Structure 1
Amino acid sequence: MAEHRSAIGRDRRADPRVHHVSERPRLLILVTLAEAGGAQTFVAALAEGLKERYHIEVAAHGPEGALADACARLGLPFHHIPSLRRAPHPWRDFRAGLEIRRLVERVRPDIIQVNSSKAGFVARIALRRLSVRVVYVVHGWAFRRGGLGSFAYAQAERATAPLTDAIVCVSERDRAAAEARGIASREILHVVHNGIAVPERPLLRGRWPDRPVLVCVARLAPPKNLQSLLIALAQPGLEPWRLRIIGDGPDRPRLEAQRAALGLGHRVEMLGERRDVDAQLIAADAFVLPSDSEGLPYSILEAMAAALPVVASDVGGIPEEVVDGTTGVLVPRGDTGALARALRELHAHGEDARRMGVAGHARAREGFSREAMVERYDAIFRDLLKKAIPGEIRPELAQVDHVTAGVEAD
């Protein structure tokens, strides 16, 4: 572990001190933005599951948003990081690093758990000389999205991996991608699937309707590729479907224009951010997510918990959630024809679609419980807390060091 960190000169001995880890350690959770999203849902779920075992504080760019609201509900401190934004900006990113470092020096966590590529990069650079254990959770590698930035993203991840005590991937596919790209050594890579609270019994919806409701919960931005969903929905044979899109983002004006151009205004509702997502899922008949890239989306787990059949792209960790032909249908990324065929078949065989939804509920309950996720993260954190940071003076070793120094002096 020490050799792995030293690759780019992490020197935790620059901050030597006696570090007391209490029975209830201090945990700081950092994510880029406080807006609604999968990473924020994960942070809220993890914080709620661990708040009796750790002193937890949460930080993100706010000061408002779904995550700030969740912290208020849970009674957890929320810290606004003014300069931490999604888009790259050298001077603003430098300021964000200073803000994160000052927060860590003030809060003095035993562990900082960082989420998302941007927060992960900025925080690890800023904290490289502080005595704090860093756990980085990857909600889908940015370099897997392709495009011109793929090489740069991979290089950034390789450069900052030595500043990390543990890297947690949310899917086996992401761990395999990290190993294939040489991002980090196998010893610090872990896989922990996202988890969710699932009702004990599935919702039983009754007969398949003549005009089924399709729901999509997503940020209206790349890489969700909702444009392909509208194109698919406009194809012949899909007239019975009604679509409700929940979420907001920079692509909204373009999607509204596309909806009008395709003549879908009477069939597609754009509901924006909602606080009643659970109720919207209950009122739906199927769920769709046509993303170009993903980690292990919470939106799909929420749909499975609501006993909805899922139609989604075969990308990222989605095949680890959705069993093709059993709990839903997987389609190739960007293939609007395949997406249209899947929706057409789902409507033609409504009773099979209902059975898929019930099977999805069982799969979510058995394989993606919040309790299992929380226990895995707790085990990773506790294991790291047992290991001394290079240069750190642990209380149980301080007396030994003092006696040894006396013997050497004699």
Structure 2
Amino acid sequence: MKSTPAEQNMTESLEQPRLVVHLIHQLDAGGFENGLINLIRNMPPERYRHAIVCLKDYSDFESQLQPRGVEIISLNKREGKDFGHYLRMFKALRALQPDLIHTRNLSGLEGQLVAALAGVKLRVHGEHGRDMFDLYGKRLKYQLLRRLLRPLIGHFIAVSADLEHWLIDNVGAEPQRVSQIANGVDSIQFHPRLGPPAAVGPAGFMQDNAFVIGSVGRMVDVKNHATLVEAFLRLIASPHPSHQRLRLLIVGDGPARAECVDMLTRAGASHRAWLPGERGDIPQMLRAMDLFVLPSLAEGSSNTILEAMATGLPVVATAVGGNTELVKPGFTGILVPPKSPELMAAAIADYCRIPEMGGRHGMRARSQVIAHHSLPAMARGYMAVYDALTNASPCTAAQEKRA
């Protein structure tokens, strides 16, 4: 017997949005974490609900997600081998009973097996970048792990073409089960400065004609901030008069911060650099910069590059991973080889000596972000993957028709 329209409407109203669990290493300050928050904020709540399971812990993101009713669970995984966290993960997934789990990067990969054992039938895995200990994704034991768990994964998501090709060519994922979805950025929050740069930093750091070289990100080995510091020290040691305007601003915290501070102190350049640690006002920090530099050894698709481009900044970045897809040499920025402080210094010097070039490249960079890296476009990409796996429930189809 067919349902009446009234009965169909009642069924639709009773059916809850599907629950997606995002399994990540840690919810802390960083581009990857901001990307997840932006994704949740830009997905319609009537389509999908969300929960976040952190292998380690989380910081103050709970307040940002509270209006969305997002539950955040910490598994408190200890350093090294902690087999107990697998049991805690299993229990959390059994309690949540999600429709779909979305794991990310190598640290979350084993969650695919735990999810399968916990009865989660729909499983997605995303690759956002590689770690310091496996920069090119070729380490044998991790290759074996990825290939072993590959049959459990319903669909892969890569944030760059580089990672998409690697998943297909090295991991053996079927091309039709891999989607490349570009990261998105809030081009309203991250906008060009509307007047003179703000006087940030301690007294004496900024001058009227200062040219601020900036970078944002966790200060860990893979981000390689020491190369940027070395390039900066080379420039201010040169006799060129324009280099006396240079200032260095690195926003972020981590184990490499002390090394960079020590390099600057030993060179007697502390008064020309500011490393404030972690900050909550990244848009304002970016608007204090004249040039953004990312010296990473490896990248997936850098959210900080996108935020800098949205702010109207030219970008000097290393020619690794997804950087080569975001930065257009001679058009929006300059690419240099990793661990090449002399070439990085030369690229920075070009922008310092030819300020109009930075203005042109920065305007083009913002236009590129608006055209290709909007948050709604990113959310639509993820929803297409989720919808394909969940087969778009009758409730979802009806809501789409009404919209």
Q: Could you tell me the TM-score, scaled by structure 2's length?
A: 0.83
Aligned to 2:397: none
Aligned to 2:152: 163
C-alpha deviations, 1:6-53, integer Å up to 9, x for none?
Answer: xxxxxxxxxxxxxxx946111111210111122211110111112512
Aligned to 1:70: 64
CA shift in 2, pair 1:72/1:201, >3 Å: closer
Question: Is this contact kept in 1: 2:320–2:338, CA < 8 A?
Answer: yes
Aligned to 1:306: 311
C-alpha distance in structure 2 between counterparts of 1:259 and 1:289, whole Å: 18
Q: CA deviation at 1:222?
A: 1.8
CA shift in 2, pair 1:201/1:62, >3 Å: closer
AA at the equivalent of 1:166? H
Q: Give the match's secondary structure for 2:329.
A: coil
**Unpaired segments ≥5 residues, structure 1:** 1-20, 389-410
CA shift in 2, pair 1:95/1:359, >3 Å: same
Q: Give the match's secondary structure for 1:33.
A: coil
Question: Is this contact kept in 2: 1:168–1:189, CA < 8 A?
Answer: yes
Q: Is 1:54–2:31 an aligned residue pair? A: no
Question: Is this contact kept in 1: 2:315–2:332, CA < 8 A?
Answer: yes
Question: Is this contact kept in 1: 2:52–2:70, CA < 8 A?
Answer: yes
AA at the equivalent of 1:81? L
Q: CA deviation at 1:63?
A: 4.6
Aligned to 1:321: 326
Q: Which of the numbers 160, 181, 184 marks the counterpart of 2:170?
A: 181
Aligned to 1:383: 388
C-alpha distance in structure 2 between counterparts of 1:134 and 1:319, whole Å: 30
AA at the equivalent of 1:212? F
Aligned to 1:29: 22
CA shift in 2, pair 1:327/1:144, >3 Å: farther
C-alpha deviations, 1:146-178, integer Å up to 9, x for none?
Answer: 59x823332222222222111101000111122
Greater CA drift, 125-134 or 357-366: 125-134
Q: Which of the numbers 338, 347, 353 marks the counterpart of 2:352?
A: 347
C-alpha distance in structure 2 between counterparts of 1:207 and 1:49, whole Å: 32
Aligned to 1:248: 253
Q: Give the match's secondary structure for 1:117.
A: helix
Aligned to 1:192: 181
AA at the equivalent of 2:312? A
CA shift in 2, pair 1:146/1:200, >3 Å: closer
Question: Is this contact kept in 1: 2:53–2:73, CA < 8 A?
Answer: yes
Instruction: Describe how 1:1-400 pairs up with structure 2 within 5 A.
Output: 22=15, 24-52=17-45, 53-61=47-55, 63-72=57-66, 74-83=68-77, 89-90=80-81, 92=82, 94-119=83-108, 121-129=109-117, 130-142=119-131, 145-146=135-136, 150-199=139-188, 203=192, 210-235=209-234, 236=238, 237=240, 238-386=243-391
C-alpha distance in structure 2 between counterparts of 1:167 and 1:22, whole Å: 27
**Unpaired segments ≥5 residues, structure 2:** 1-13, 198-207, 394-403
CA shift in 2, pair 1:210/1:140, >3 Å: same
Q: Give the match's secondary structure for 1:30.
A: strand
C-alpha deviations, 1:164-219, integer Å up to 9, x for none?
Answer: 11110100011112222134222221100111121399526679973211211111
Greater CA drift, 49-58 or 197-206: 197-206
Q: CA deviation at 1:73?
A: 5.7
Q: CA deviation at 1:133?
A: 1.0
RMSD: 2.5
C-alpha distance in structure 2 between counterparts of 1:206 and 1:346, whole Å: 20
AA at the equivalent of 1:228? T
CA shift in 2, pair 1:107/1:175, >3 Å: same
C-alpha distance in structure 2 between counterparts of 1:261 and 1:54, whole Å: 53
Greater CA drift, 260-269 or 165-174: 260-269
Aligned to 1:403: none
Greater CA drift, 366-375 or 55-64: 55-64
Aligned to 1:406: none
Q: CA deviation at 1:292?
A: 0.2
C-alpha deviations, 1:114-147, integer Å up to 9, x for none?
Answer: 123202x231132233233111111114476159
Question: Is this contact kept in 2: 1:71–1:78, CA < 8 A?
Answer: no
Q: Could you tell me the TM-score, scaled by structure 1's length?
A: 0.82
Question: Is this contact kept in 2: 1:113–1:135, CA < 8 A?
Answer: yes
C-alpha distance in structure 2 between counterparts of 1:66 and 1:305, whole Å: 25
C-alpha distance in structure 2 between counterparts of 1:73 and 1:214, whole Å: 37
